[in-house]
């Protein structure tokens, strides 16, 4: 009976043997992968070699994957000092605006400037941290952004204060007007010095180079004070005012100079990079000679001759004449030095410094690893 059941069932054909050409090839091991294979980077040897630099995630890193670069440390004192300086100067300007308002307008002006300061503080919270992160590096990009924002907002408030003083010429509050000039003369150059942060430049190692850089920055500060002196003539007491078009040109010309010229100086420092050479920074001296030294002489001379303005500063006019002569001589000497310099290889890039072997036990370990860097620092 069992035999009958087995005979009644249909027999399935046996599977035909697979050709040898269609059989699955064995998976190659890590040692069999070619060097150009995309999977060769994930071999155990490559993973162990790459993973030695990153704890925890190194066993899964491939040579082609980008590594995370640690962010530079943030200088908290620099962030706090710049924030306090900026906000204190803006609040003092708000006090001028509120004090100049009368009646019911005072409350509206107070609310308006308070809302504006809160919005500016929200933006400053991020920008000041970015500036504090790059203060020890050779970059000054966020410093330029912060300078532009600060001067843009501050000069708008100065303009309204100046217009209020102009509309009320009978109130000769001499001390308040002089205090406004003193406030601007301290806060604006102080913020520029803080953004440059010469003492924080760890890549400038030699004392001579730092002193040369400070001398270049001193010219920027003197030019700022020169521009502010012209602008202060608009709101300080005067017997006879200038024409409306002349006052507008003077104010907005000084406004543009305060916005642009310090940014040019910061940009020049960033373009020099780690191998900064102060005597090669010729962009700002030439630009300031045209826009500050020469132009302000004509502005003050025109006010003195045509409008009989007795408040023109003769001291700054003499300063500009001396600055023109010094900058022309400096430019001539720089061109002469470039023409007579012996042709040779320029400063070696940072990546060309070869690692030196470990010194012998008898030798000192303080020897520089790259003599090209020492030669670049001493220039």
Closest CA to 91 of 62, 120, 123: 120
CB-CB contact of 97 with 81 (8 Å): no
pLDDT on residue 71: 62
Low-confidence residues of the chain: pLDDT under 70: 1-72, 169-172, 200, 202-204, 238-241, 273-279, 341-379
pLDDT on residue 102: 82
Report the alpha-carbon distance of residue 212 to residue 224 in Å, rounded: 19
pTM here is 0.69
Q: What is the pLDDT of residues 263-318, one digit of tens each?
A: 999 988 887 766 666 667 788 989 999 999 999 999 999 888 888 877 788 899 99
Distance set, CA 266 to CA 134, 144, 155, 185, 261 (Å): 13, 7, 20, 19, 9
pLDDT on residue 357: 47
pLDDT on residue 226: 95
Reduced DSSP (H G I as helix, E B as strand, rest coil) percent helix, strand, coil of the chain, to 5: 65, 0, 35
CB-CB contact of 176 with 235 (8 Å): no
User: What's the chain's length in residues?
Assistant: 379
pLDDT on residue 282: 83
Report the alpha-carbon distance of residue 245 to residue 238 in Å, rounded: 17
* 96 Cβ contact partners less than 8 Å away, ≥ 6 residues apart: 157, 161, 176, 180
Kindly give the residue spans of alpha helices, DSSP state H, lying in 273-313. Answer: 283-288, 295-305
Report the alpha-carbon distance of residue 251 to residue 117 in Å, rounded: 24
pLDDT on residue 16: 52
Annotate 306-360 with DSSP letters as a single string.
Answer: TS--TT--HHHHHHHHHHHHHHHHHHHHHHHHHHHSPP---PPPGGG-PPPPPPP
Report the alpha-carbon distance of residue 100 to residue 273 in Å, rounded: 47
CB-CB contact of 90 with 154 (8 Å): yes
* 99 Cβ contact partners less than 8 Å away, ≥ 6 residues apart: none
CB-CB contact of 167 with 176 (8 Å): no
pLDDT on residue 173: 76
Report the alpha-carbon distance of residue 234 to residue 276 in Å, rounded: 39
Q: What is the pLDDT of residues 307-323, one digit of tens each?
A: 887 778 889 999 999 99
* 102 Cβ contact partners less than 8 Å away, ≥ 6 residues apart: none
pLDDT on residue 281: 77
């Amino acid at each position: 009976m069992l035999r009958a059941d087995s005979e009644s069932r249909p027999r399935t054909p046996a599977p035909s043997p697979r050709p040898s050409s269609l059989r699955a090839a064995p998976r190659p091991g890590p040692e069999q992968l070619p060097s150009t294979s995309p999977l060769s980077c994930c071999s155990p040897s490559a993973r162990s070699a790459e993973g030695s630099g990153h704890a925890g995630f190194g066993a899964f890193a491939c040579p082609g994957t980008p590594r995370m670069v640690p962010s530079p440390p943030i200088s908290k004192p620099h962030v706090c000092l710049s924030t306090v300086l900026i906000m204190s100067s803006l609040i003092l300007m708000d006090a001028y605006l509120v004090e100049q308002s009368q009646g019911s307008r005072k409350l509206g002006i107070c609310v308006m400037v308070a809302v504006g300061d809160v919005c500016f503080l929200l933006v400053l919270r991020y920008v000041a941290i970015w500036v504090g992160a790059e203060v020890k590096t050779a970059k000054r990009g966020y410093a330029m952004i912060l300078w532009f924002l600060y001067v843009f907002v501050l000069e708008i408030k100065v303009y309204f204060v100046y217009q209020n003083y102009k509309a009320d010429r009978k109130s000769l509050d001499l001390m308040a007007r002089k205090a406004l000039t003193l406030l601007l003369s301290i806060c604006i150059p102080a913020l520029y010095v803080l953004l440059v942060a010469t003492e924080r430049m760890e890549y400038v190692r030699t004392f001579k180079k730092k002193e040369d850089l400070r001398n270049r920055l001193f010219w920027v500060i003197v030019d700022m004070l020169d521009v502010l002196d012209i602008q202060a003539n608009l709101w300080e007491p005067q017997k006879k005012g200038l024409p409306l078009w002349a006052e507008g040109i003077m104010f907005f010309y000084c406004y543009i100079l305060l916005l642009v010229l310090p940014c040019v100086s910061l940009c020049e420092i960033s373009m020099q990079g780690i191998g900064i050479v102060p005597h090669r920074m010729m962009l700002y001296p030439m630009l300031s000679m045209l826009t500050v030294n020469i132009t302000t002489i004509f502005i003050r001379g025109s006010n003195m001759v045509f409008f009989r303005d007795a408040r023109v500063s003769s001291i700054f006019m003499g300063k500009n004449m001396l600055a023109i002569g010094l900058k022309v001589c400096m430019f001539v000497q720089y061109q002469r030095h470039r023409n007579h310099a012996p042709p040779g290889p320029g400063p070696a890039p940072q990546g060309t410094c070869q690692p030196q072997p470990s010194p012998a036990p008898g030798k000192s370990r303080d020897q520089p690893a790259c003599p090209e860097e020492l030669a670049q620092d001493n220039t």
